[in-house]
Structure 1
Amino acid sequence: MATTSSNSSGTTTPAMQQGDGGYGLAVIGCGTMGIAVLSGILDTQRSLSSSGGRQAALDNLSQSVESIDNPEDLTHLPTRYYACVSRPESGKRLRRDVFSENEWPQVQVVVGENVRAAREADVVMLGCKPNMVEDILKEEGMHEALRGKMLVSICAGLRIEQMQGWVGKETTVIRAMPNTPSKIREGMTILSPVPSSSPPISSHILLSLFSSIGRCRFLPEKHFDACTALAGSGPAFACVFLEAMADGAVMMGLPRKEAVELAAQTMQGAARMVLQSGSHPAQIKDSVTTPGGCTIAGLLALEDGKVRSTVARTIQAAAEHAAGLGQKK
């Protein structure tokens, strides 16, 4: 049964106060993103528990979060997991293909029993479609099951105020926005701030969970629609640009396989230069652009095609659409 809880008044049971990691995590609606999050957490937990991998895992975690003084603050991971799905066939597939009992005995696949999972867990994550959240949170017994706990929603468009109204003030509601590269632990997750009345361990738990699947940072909820467009939809936009670069190389005679590899590695390398050096993208662009060279010729072609404004407007359009997700028509 649950041994940990937190709520908006800041009261907690001993396990969460001490941050001993002895808590349970339930993912309700454990689909693609839920599986990505759980898999990343479990892999990180395994690395931390291995004799030779702990320091490397701590180094990786500390690089995922800015302004973290003690990497050990990123090790508050669950000891019990509940992967919740609605259909028996989904449960069988999860147990067979993803969370086999032999490899992951700490993961319990739960079919059609969201309330029970929420009751036995201490942190509950919503990974379902936004239009399903209200019905799930209004299931009989769910209000009581969530009382005094932390509810983390990774559902686009749903506001904290909405969810708070469905679960009551005794539940701490947090929004999180991970993206699909989380599946390979290269994600970018945005978290809404933890209420000031909550204990510090609440923030440590959130950072521990999401730094396991890539970078993460806290931002006010007002920025979430823009973050959904940029980080959530961004991988799709980046892949369009990547594909276009590869198409151009194919047009000039390069085989498709090699063209895609070169384009992907080039984009990855440029992105890592921005992250690791802290340089503005324009600085890196200018460092590649020599007078009269091929780079400036290509850049002028991009400008002729209004690529810069088109990409910026793409983020704007996606953000405006994100604002309507989860809202009743």
Structure 2
Amino acid sequence: MVDKKKIFRIGIDKISLYNFSIKTNKEFQKLIDNRGNCVKEKTIITDELFSIINSYTLFQEGEELQENIFNKIVFNPNKLLTGDNICNTTPDQLPKVIEKLTKLLKEKGVEIDFSEAKIADIEINLNVPVDFNDYSEVFTLFYKQLKKSKLISEISDSEKISEFKIDESYFSRLSRSVTFKIYSKDREKGLNFKVTRLEYYLESLAYKYAMNKYNLDSSLKDLIANPKVIEDIFRERVKKDFIIKSLKYIENNVKPVLEREYLAFKKANALAKMTGRKEERNVYKYLEKFWIFDYSFLIELIEKHNIKNKGREIKRVLKKYIQHDNLKKLNYLLETIFPH
């Protein structure tokens, strides 16, 4: 039985560690590469719950032989704890995870010392109890801010909603060492309740930089000793990458386009009336070609530009466009991400 309290919180999904010692007398799969003055030997230890790469390099520098050893282990903490990756693991649970992982490895003939381990990369995510499709316009608003990044999901530059591409998941590389993804976790796992996941993947440089802002380093010890830091990192990034920019985008792009097209429609009808041509009757139908986003934006236009028929027009909007309630959805996300 999945514990919903552990699902809907900021936590760790997957983590990679390096800078640990490893000993084993067992033979595992090895890859050997001899090139020029360099010999690379890579031992790979894989399991359903983890994967380890032990890399040994011997190379010649001048007249002397040099060697380099690098170890990396990748695992999902919650799979080790409960067998699933739906829930998130918090940093204060990591000692228990490391204890279990160490014991599991010892049973396989591998001794590891994680006391000086550092974090190579980490996935930090938040699950929210919403339907991905129902919130697709809010997520589209987020991704409209990322046109300068290498955005895999194609979202049109147009303000016409009909030209937007709504995918089953959104993925973007925000920088060389940070990626962000939004996707339906309930669809992926076949859950009987709605879960949408917002997920940051921080590679080594990004994680070090984030921790340094809190006067911490990338050691496993610092993460365990400061369990709330990943919540701070996640919230700070979401605020900087999406929230502030999205609110500005609404004020600087969405609303002005609606107002411009609303007034253009009204002006065209006034000219048609003056010249005896046929008038178009439904300004809201016309605005559907653009991004309404929220019905309240239409009400703002009515209150500003149509005082004479205000009451009647507002009733029309409420009757037909009340389902465009994306501000409410955006506010719910904000309250979930940034609880009081």
**TM-score bin, normalised by smaller chain:** under 0.3
Question: What TM-score does the superposition give when structure 2 sets the normalisation length?
Answer: 0.26
Question: Which is helix-richer, 1 or 2?
Answer: 1
TM-score by length of 1: 0.26
Larger radius of gyration: 2
